[in-house]
């Protein structure tokens, strides 16, 4: 539960960055890839592990999914609940829901804070229904954003100071241990603090990056399907 205190301190400011020009474009690109992997259908039940303020959960609710959450931070959970979500206090290592409960189980930049990632994935798989999708998004160590966040963490207190950033191959290997069918891609290929001109070409960079530079986008997204029940 170490991340609880960290995110309590940042809860009120967590969404603010996504209102900047850079943040809006990052969210747009990340959401596009998440939607491809989740493939939401109205009426499906989804659990977000580490729901935070519910910022991304809102996007899936808009598409007709019934979204629940798990969140260790009291302040984050309060914000998500005000947005209308049912959120239980807990972590990915011990998810407080029954087996075979959800069509989709998502972790969006929360597994980085787990000291037991294998248990984290096993718990996500446990609460997924047979045939359910388990989607894990993590920050990429081998990206321009990953390098910048690591450097900044050396000199100031950030939410990512003690986080474990993943590589494309590390995430792929972890998923392959737990699922027969695995897919991994990435998103956001422009550098931190981009100029207006760079943001103008962000969509073109994204198309090129997803085709030729999959291991190096800022956000890695992996999916496994629970096909052994």
Domains of the chain with CATH codes: 2-222 (3.40.50.150)
pLDDT band at 141 (very low <50, low <70, confident <90, very high): very high
Other beta carbons within 10 angstroms of residue 12's beta carbon come to: 12
Render pLDDT for 203-219 as a digit per residue (tens, 0 to 9).
Answer: 999 999 999 999 999 99
pLDDT band at 3 (very low <50, low <70, confident <90, very high): very low
Render pLDDT for 57-77 as a digit per residue (tens, 0 to 9).
Answer: 999 999 999 999 999 999 999
Nearest to 99 by CA among 125, 135, 118, 136: 125
Q: What is the pTM of this model?
A: 0.94
Q: Are 143 and 216 in contact (CB under 8 A)?
A: yes
Render pLDDT for 157-169 as a digit per residue (tens, 0 to 9).
Answer: 667 777 899 999 9
Mean pLDDT across the chain? 92
Q: Above 60 in pLDDT, residue 187?
A: yes
**CB-neighbour burial class of residue 206 (10 A; exposed 0-12, middle 13-18, buried 19+):** buried
Render pLDDT for 94-115 as a digit per residue (tens, 0 to 9).
Answer: 999 999 999 999 999 999 999 9
């Amino acid at each position: 539960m170490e991340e609880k205190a960290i995110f309590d301190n940042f809860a009120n400011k967590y969404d603010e960055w996504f209102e900047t020009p850079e943040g809006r474009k990052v969210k747009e690109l990340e959401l596009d890839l998440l939607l491809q992997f989740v493939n939401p259908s109205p009426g499906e039940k989804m659990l977000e592990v580490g729901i935070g303020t519910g910022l991304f959960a809102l996007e899936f609710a808009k598409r007709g999914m019934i979204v629940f959450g798990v969140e260790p931070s009291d302040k984050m959970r309060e914000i998500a609940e005000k947005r209308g979500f049912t959120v239980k206090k807990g972590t990915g290592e011990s998810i407080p829901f029954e087996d075979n409960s959800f069509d989709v189980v998502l972790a969006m930049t929360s597994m980085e804070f787990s000291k037991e990632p294998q248990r984290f994935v096993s718990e996500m798989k446990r609460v997924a229904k047979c045939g359910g999708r388990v989607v894990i998004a993590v920050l990429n160590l081998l990206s321009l954003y990953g390098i910048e966040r690591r450097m900044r963490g050396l000199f100031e207190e950030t939410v990512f100071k003690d986080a474990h950033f993943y590589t494309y191959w590390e995430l792929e290997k972890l998923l392959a241990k737990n699922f027969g069918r695995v897919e991994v891609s990435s998103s956001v290929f422009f550098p931190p603090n981009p100029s207006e001109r760079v943001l103008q070409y962000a969509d073109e960079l994204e198309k090129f990056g997803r085709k030729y530079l999959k291991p190096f986008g800022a956000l890695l997204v992996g999916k496994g399907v629970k096909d052994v029940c």
